[in-house]
């Protein structure tokens, strides 16, 4: 009888597939996108299955401790794990088949998209909340007894309800974020995908390669670009401004950083004509709730002895002192 993909994947992961059959499977895996997607899902489940707990459920702390022990705050190292043929055959039918049906043949996801003026979060069935930025969209797959999953397009801030039996996963532009109870912000920046963890712990990985990952805790951030996953310095204090409606500029922030945050918040173009002014720093912290662009530019330009003008919807900062 011809082996199903489920059985073949189980044999491959267990190490029972040998020789020409293994080589043929690897060739097919590289050429068949559907098989590759099924294999990626199975491999992640396979790796999770090696984390023992008293209840037999996925344990976040155990996963975290194993991850950090292997590579604290850096890329995980590849590991080789061997399972018995019995597990491969049994899990294929009892576990993987169920997971595959969830991902590929199960109920369709529910889609939520940002609407003009939206300020309230989308509350999911488990109590988790998702705040969408302008142009963002999520697809929420039916939650099961063992998994909560959604996919994201655009930028969103999420507050995830703790549930140790059901890890919460988010797919976004080739990345996978895994949490149990935490809050974090994911956003696209050009070709990059960035994540900032406001609270809790997160494993941020490449969706098709679980070994390309970083472990993040409160206040930490990471970036995925061109198949590279790296930790990055704490982002701007205004990374959450789109959701909080407040801009905050720390003491000693440069004009360049301030203008970058203002332009991103209002989705406008601001040009600073005098490059030497970009290096100037503010001497006192500044916080503005529900800012208005013109009054904000007036405050900022005054601190560097400059002036601003508006031309065809674009803003230009002229003059100002030199701080190079």
pLDDT digits (tens, 9 = 90+) for 71-80: 444 443 333 3
Tell me which of 2.60.120.1440, 2.40.30.10, 2.60.120.560, 1.20.910.10 is the CATH number of domain 110-232: 2.60.120.1440
> In the chain, where does the domain assigned CATH 3.55.50.30 lie?
241-319
Per-residue confidence at 269, pLDDT binned at 50, 70, 90? very high
Confidence (pLDDT) at 40: 80
Q: What is the dihedral of CA 250, 253, 257, 262, to 10 degrees?
A: 40
Residues of the chain with pLDDT > 90, as a percent, come to 47
Q: Which long-range contacts (CB under 8 A, 24 or more apart) does 176-181 make?
A: 176/204, 176/205, 176/206, 176/207, 176/210, 177/202, 177/203, 177/204, 177/205, 178/63, 178/202, 178/203, 178/204, 178/205, 179/60, 179/203, 180/60
The domain defined by 241-319 folds into: Phage tail protein beta-alpha-beta fold (3.55.50)
- Residue 289's Cβ-count burial label (10 Å; 0-12, 13-18, 19+) is exposed
> In the chain, where does the domain assigned CATH 2.60.120.1440 lie?
110-232
Check pLDDT > 80 for residue 96.
no
Mean pLDDT lowest among 27-41, 155-169, 284-298 = 27-41
* Cβ pair 280, 323 in contact under 8 A: yes
Check pLDDT > 80 for residue 239.
yes
Confidence (pLDDT) at 14: 76
CA 254/CA 280 separation, integer angstroms: 5
Residues of the chain with pLDDT > 70, as a percent, come to 79
Mean pLDDT lowest among 10-14, 92-96, 149-153, 251-255 = 92-96
Angle CA(201)–CA(45)–CA(130) in degrees, nearest 5? 45
Check pLDDT > 90 for residue 36.
no
CA 77/CA 70 separation, integer angstroms: 7
CA 231/CA 223 separation, integer angstroms: 6
* pTM score: 0.61
What is the DSSP-derived secondary structure letter of residue 277? Answer: G
């Amino acid at each position: 009888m011809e082996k199903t993909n489920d059985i073949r994947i189980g044999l491959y992961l267990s190490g029972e597939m040998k020789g020409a059959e293994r080589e043929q499977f690897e060739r097919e895996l590289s050429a068949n996108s559907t098989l590759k997607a099924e294999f990626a899902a199975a491999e992640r489940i396979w790796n999770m299955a090696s984390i023992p707990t008293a209840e037999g459920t996925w344990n976040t702390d155990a996963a975290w401790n194993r991850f950090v022990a292997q590579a604290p705050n850096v890329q995980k190292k590849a590991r080789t794990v061997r399972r018995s043929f019995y597990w491969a055959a049994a899990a294929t039918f009892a576990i993987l088949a169920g997971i595959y049906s969830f991902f590929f043949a199960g109920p369709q996801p529910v889609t939520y998209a940002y609407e003009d003026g939206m300020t309230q979060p989308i509350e999911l069935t488990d109590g988790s909340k998702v705040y969408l930025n302008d142009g963002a969209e999520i697809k929420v797959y039916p939650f099961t007894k063992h998994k909560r999953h959604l996919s994201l397009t655009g930028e969103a801030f999420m507050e995830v309800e703790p549930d140790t039996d059901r890890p919460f996963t988010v797919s976004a532009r080739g990345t996978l974020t895994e949490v149990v109870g935490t809050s974090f912000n994911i956003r696209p920046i050009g070709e990059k995908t960035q994540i900032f963890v406001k609270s809790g712990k997160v494993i941020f990985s490449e969706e098709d390669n679980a070994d390309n990952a970083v472990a993040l805790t409160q206040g930490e951030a990471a970036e995925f670009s061109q198949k590279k996953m790296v930790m990055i310095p704490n982002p701007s204090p205004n990374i959450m401004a789109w959701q909080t409606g407040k801009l905050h500029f720390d003491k000693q922030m440069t004009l360049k950083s301030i203008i970058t945050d203002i332009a991103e918040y209002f989705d406008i173009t601001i040009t600073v004509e005098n490059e030497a002014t970009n290096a100037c720093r503010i001497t006192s912290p500044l916080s503005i709730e529900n800012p208005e662009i013109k009054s904000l530019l007036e405050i900022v330009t005054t601190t560097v002895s400059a002036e601003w003008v508006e031309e065809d919807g674009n803003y230009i900062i002229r003059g100002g002192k030199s701080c190079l």
